[in-house]
Amino acid sequence: MNHRLSKGTVLAALLGFAVTQASAEPMHIFWKDLRPATQAVAPDTNLPMIAAKLPDHGETLSHGLKDKTVQLAGYALPVDREGDLVYQFLLVPWTGACSHMPTPPPNQIVLVAPAHPYKMAEAYQPVSVTGVLKPGMEKSQLFILDGVLIVQSGYTVRKAEVSDVDSVPDAVTLPVNSPWNFLNKKKN
């Protein structure tokens, strides 16, 4: 039995594998998929997953999605921008997160580096992000009206494809009595 493979056979196998990997459809995920199934929603609050209310402060990540190509919709909060071009942003599950309202826990924040600078019209623009999800804590520095805020994210997606969406399917809706309801503006 001959165990030698020709260069052509090896190259064909590698190309077939690369085409299969590149053509794989992204897995559509929701925010709940980024926290372990055993982690409950924070009690005594109208917003889910407030880090201070969780025993682990939301630092427990879901490693089952590691290195998977995923698609997730959320709200973009620029971290690194020049004019309307954004080079890095935080994807968060509700408008106002981090700058106007409590910061979500790390397992509900994704640090996104687009494959190409993304032209953003406004902060908290609803977007869909597609790319390879990597669990791991990262800190980002946000410049907000009140000063500087350090935000810890639990996931990253680099070389992401970013597209505008009209709505976020599993977006958190602010309570009726919230002073930040203006952030839930509807686009016509």
**Does residue 30 surpass a pLDDT of 70?**
yes
Q: Is residue 92 part of a domain?
A: yes
- What was the pLDDT predicted at 42? 55
What is the domain count for the chain?
Answer: 1
Predicted structure pTM score: 0.75
pLDDT tens track for 111-158? 999 999 999 988 889 999 999 999 999 999 887 766 788 899 999 999
**Does residue 19 surpass a pLDDT of 80?**
no
Cα separation, 61 vs 155, whole angstroms: 8
**Does residue 172 surpass a pLDDT of 80?**
no
**Does residue 87 surpass a pLDDT of 50?**
yes
Q: Is residue 146 part of a domain?
A: yes
User: Which CATH number do you get for residue 37?
Assistant: 2.40.50.870
Closest C-alpha among 85, 83, 82, 104 to residue 95:
104
**Does residue 26 surpass a pLDDT of 90?**
yes
Going from the C-alpha of 67 to that of each of 6, 33, 163, 173, the distances in angstroms are 31, 14, 21, 30
Cα separation, 170 vs 187, whole angstroms: 17
Band of pLDDT at residue 174, cut at 50, 70 and 90: low
What would the mean pLDDT of 60-85 be, rounded to a whole number? 93
- What was the pLDDT predicted at 47? 56
Going from the C-alpha of 130 to that of each of 29, 68, 159, the distances in angstroms are 10, 10, 9
- What was the pLDDT predicted at 90? 95
- What was the pLDDT predicted at 133? 97
- What was the pLDDT predicted at 21? 47
**Does residue 14 surpass a pLDDT of 80?**
no
Do 29 and 69 meet the contact criterion of CB atoms below 8 Å apart? no
Instruction: Select the more confidently predicted residue: 64 or 12.
Output: 64
Q: Is residue 152 part of a domain?
A: yes
- What was the pLDDT predicted at 50? 60
Closest C-alpha among 115, 93, 118, 124 to residue 106:
93
Do 107 and 61 meet the contact criterion of CB atoms below 8 Å apart? yes
Domain that holds residue 59: 26-184
Instruction: Select the more confidently predicted residue: 92 or 52.
Output: 92
